[in-house]
Amino acid sequence: MNKGNLSSLFSPRTIALIGASGTPGKVGNIVLGYLERSGAQLFLVNPKGGEIGSRRVYPSPEDLPEKLDLAVITVGAEAAVTAAETCAQKGTAFVIIIAGGFGEVGGRGKSLEERLKALPERYGCRILGPNSLGVFFPESGLDTIFVEHGDRALAEGGGIAFITQSGSVGVESLGLASNAGFGMRAFVGTGNKADLNEHDFLDYFGADSGTSCLAFYLESIESGREFLEQAGAIAAKKPVVVLKAGRTAAGGAAVSSHTGRLAGSDNVVDGAFRQYGIQRAYDDEELCDAAKALSMVRPAAGNRVAVITPAGGFGVMCTDYIESPDRRANLTMAHLAPATVTRIRKVSLPFASAANPVDLTAGADDTMFLETLKALLEDDGVDIVICITFFAPPSISKDLPEKMATLIRKAEKPVLIFTQYGPFTAGYLKRFYELGVAGFSAIRRTVRAARFLVERGMILRLKEAKDEK
Amino acid sequence: MKSETDYTGLLETWKKDLEIPGKPNEWEVKELMRGAGLPVPENVLLKAGEPLPDGPVPGVEAPYAVKLCSAEVLHKTDVGGVVLGVTAEELTGVLSDLRERFPGEHLLLSSMVPVRGPEFILGALSDPVFGPAVMAGAGGILAELYKDVAFRLAPCTPAEAGRMLTELTIAPVLTGFRGSSMDLEGLKTIIARFSLLAGAATAEGAQLDINPLVWTGSQWLVLDGKAVL
């Protein structure tokens, strides 16, 4: 069995599409459209035979060549199992089963899933799903996801491997994320996990040089302790963020001990993740924001935050968020060095505030922004900078995002952007994203992203300290 | 520190010797914890059906704490089964009163200890996904109201225990909050040791509570313990 190498799942040279259809709107047709862009050699299967476009259609999986890299099966549960069995016998390396109606419905579906589970052991073929949206891998152009998923926006690729047990949570998250720029290395829907599960993708993307951050949505974790150990080892090199949904009770004896009652929520998961250096997210937005920040921005060396704002109110709100205690990582407003304050005073307007949060006022221009940012980045008492940027003030030029990005990309400290400008927000955030800068559309989300960077810094320092022992 | 195998052996012997199989009483739980290297103060079991002492009892001294020691009664305070601050003169009377009210139950006699600062709770259970875990937090009778607790998987090192403690709201009392002076290092060691016992005990679904764990000004002491097997 192909244990570790999933590369032909993500970059197949040959793909069979079982359930291929010429009828617009059918899953087998949508997936066909996507697969045609992948550049892989396609083999279409449909009992009707004939042709779709100029491609020949095989009436049965029996007619497929031996040893294909991948088979994508879009037909219903029962037929999918039979097709998967045939593919497995023919030495197909990977099979993706999109249909539901398996273990999750019990009864007959469960026995169908059992038949699938037997295949890897017997034929060495690895199965993704069933009940999986499959994979999206921008680098190879492979995309089997038949629902809208911000595909165009994400097609340029990036560093985030996004592994999700729920297809819809996955695609909706991506839709949300792609609006404002999100660098996708891979999307994997694990579905019912008859064979391939979070462990396989953790190992693969943990070792993949193109992956800079792993993000998981999980409802169940197989072999929990091993998963943590492996994820913890990977977290020494790259960030691992997990949204563990579905809170579990602590078991039967729970009610009669204090500990059982106190563990009733998912406090144990919380502690366990911290212990292994895995960063936890609690909803789809947080998972995407964390992955975006962690994949694009360096970890923070400490928790002292400096804020630049052209609007007092947002500076005040941002300060409130920063100073609020938080279990992930407490942040604190940086005390600026006198030299920094003097520097900022020199470049800013007389009625600007040079203390943190630095309020440049609506009269700010490009130079004030850039010189202030430089001063803050060079202040030893600052670990992370949040730029509140609106591009409405009349004295700010169109080029400011580019100029800021040039500074931010070179900076040795993490910088995050908050921008809120009605219908133009997504445009600005996306522009920043394309310039290599991570931005968010709410103060709360920006400060939360900062906490992830501070938490990441703490994890790395801890892992390094453990190595030295 | 003892290896995990020792704890498994300790636990098996302990289970076999329980008076009521599967239902340990407080004295038995404390003896298990003592055996695991946790700081349990001396306490004397006055068995049901045996004559009560009519003078000083070796190992403990006045003022005393007298408690009902029953595998059946879950909330001994609620039924009036705990009498604290008993003087040498009162002891005989208190004992015979408890004996009269709870015939057929054991009594547990220990010395009152000074308590400096807030009480702590430690716990252990097996998480259905991740396995054995330990808990530490703000203890006492309000523990479940405040829910100021943090968890780690067991076994956990003293350093990891230290990081777990920093997550508590109550954490500052361990580092000098308003002049408090509690032995943080000692507490970390106790949690690490408890986590080894936890690993063995929870493997079969047991849950352990230590509540309260108190600081006397010179040492940490386990004043009450419970095991749900």
Predicted confidence at residue B93, as pLDDT, reads 93
Residue A104: inside a domain: yes
Q: What is the pLDDT along chain A (469 residues), one digit of tens a residue?
A: 555 689 999 999 999 999 999 999 999 999 999 999 888 999 999 999 999 999 999 999 999 999 999 999 999 999 999 999 999 999 999 999 999 889 888 889 999 999 999 999 999 999 999 999 899 999 999 999 887 776 677 878 899 999 999 888 888 888 877 888 899 999 999 999 999 999 999 999 999 999 999 999 998 888 999 999 999 999 999 999 999 987 655 544 445 677 777 775 588 999 999 999 999 999 999 999 999 999 999 999 999 999 999 989 999 999 999 999 998 999 999 999 999 999 999 999 999 999 999 999 989 999 999 999 999 999 999 999 999 987 777 788 889 999 999 999 999 999 999 987 677 777 888 899 999 999 999 999 999 999 999 999 999 999 998 765 5
Backbone phi and psi for residue B149, each to the nearest 5 degrees, phi listed first: -135, 160
Query: Which part of chain B is CATH 3.30.1490?
Result: 43-111
Asked if residue B32 has pLDDT above 90, the reply is yes
Number of domains in chain A: 3
- In angstroms, the CA B146 to CA B144 distance is 6
Residue A279: inside a domain: yes
Predicted confidence at residue B204, as pLDDT, reads 77
Domain check: are A181 and A88 in the same one? no
Predicted confidence at residue A423, as pLDDT, reads 72
- In angstroms, the CA B45 to CA B26 distance is 10
pLDDT (mean) for B91-117: 93
Predicted confidence at residue A264, as pLDDT, reads 58
Predicted confidence at residue A7, as pLDDT, reads 93
Among A237, A266, A296, identify where a domain stops. A296
Q: The tokens 């292994």 sit on which residue?
A: A276
Which pairing describes strands B120-127 and B131-138: parallel, antiparallel, or unpaired?
Answer: antiparallel
CATH of domain B1-40+113-229: 3.30.470.20
Nearest CA among A202, A200, A234, A210 for reference residue A160: A210
Residue A388: inside a domain: yes
Residue A137: inside a domain: no
pLDDT band at B26; cut points 50, 70, 90: very high
pLDDT (mean) for B117-127: 93
Domain check: are A48 and A121 in the same one? yes
Q: SS3 helix, strand, coil % of chain B, rounded to 5?
A: 30, 25, 40
Name the residue with higher pLDDT: A372 or B140. A372
pLDDT (mean) for B19-36: 93
CATH of domain B43-111: 3.30.1490
Predicted confidence at residue A2, as pLDDT, reads 53
Q: Is A259 on the interface with B (CB under 8 A)?
A: yes
Q: Containing domain of residue A358, as a range?
A: 298-461
Predicted confidence at residue A434, as pLDDT, reads 93
Question: What 8-state DSSP symbol labels residue B124?
Answer: E
Predicted confidence at residue B74, as pLDDT, reads 72
Residue A468: inside a domain: no
Domain check: are A244 and A323 in the same one? no
Residue A135: inside a domain: no
| B204 burial type by CB count under 10 A (0-12 exposed, 13-18 middle, 19+ buried) | exposed
* Cβ atoms of residues B31 and B43 within 8 Å: no
Nearest CA among A179, A37, A182, A8 for reference residue A96: A8
Domain check: are A309 and A449 in the same one? yes
Q: The tokens 């997504």 sit on which residue?
A: A426
Residues on chain B bordering chain A, Cβ-to-Cβ distance under 8 angstroms:
74, 121, 123-131, 133, 135, 137, 143-144, 147, 149-153, 156, 160, 163-164, 167, 205-209, 211, 226, 228-229
Residue A142: inside a domain: no
Out of B131, B133, B144, closest to residue A271 by CB? B133
* CATH code assigned at A103: 3.40.50.720
Domain check: are A206 and A315 in the same one? no
- Residues in B closer than 8 angstroms to A256, CB to CB, are 74, 207, 228
Distances (CA, A) of A321 to A57, A439, B100: 59, 17, 60
Domain check: are A340 and A440 in the same one? yes
Residue A224 to residue B152, Cβ atoms within 8 A: no
Mutation site, B148, B207, B208, B213, interface A, largest A CB count within 10 A: B207
Q: Bridge partners of A304?
A: A332
Domain check: are A305 and A157 in the same one? no
Domain check: are A252 and A168 in the same one? yes
Domain check: are A304 and A366 in the same one? yes
- In angstroms, the CA A308 to CA A73 distance is 52
Q: How far is A26 from chain B (nearest CA, A)?
A: 39
Predicted confidence at residue A253, as pLDDT, reads 46
Domain check: are A202 and A215 in the same one? yes
Residue A467: inside a domain: no
Domain check: are A368 and A239 in the same one? no
Predicted confidence at residue A251, as pLDDT, reads 47
- Residues in A closer than 8 angstroms to B144, CB to CB, are 258, 261-262
* CATH code assigned at A174: 3.40.50.261
Q: How many CB atoms lie within 10 A of CB A420?
A: 18
Distances (CA, A) of A157 to A11, A154, A367, A400: 14, 6, 33, 25
Domain check: are A98 and A164 in the same one? no
Q: Is A327 on the interface with B (CB under 8 A)?
A: yes
Query: Which part of chain B is CATH 3.30.470.20?
Result: 1-40+113-229
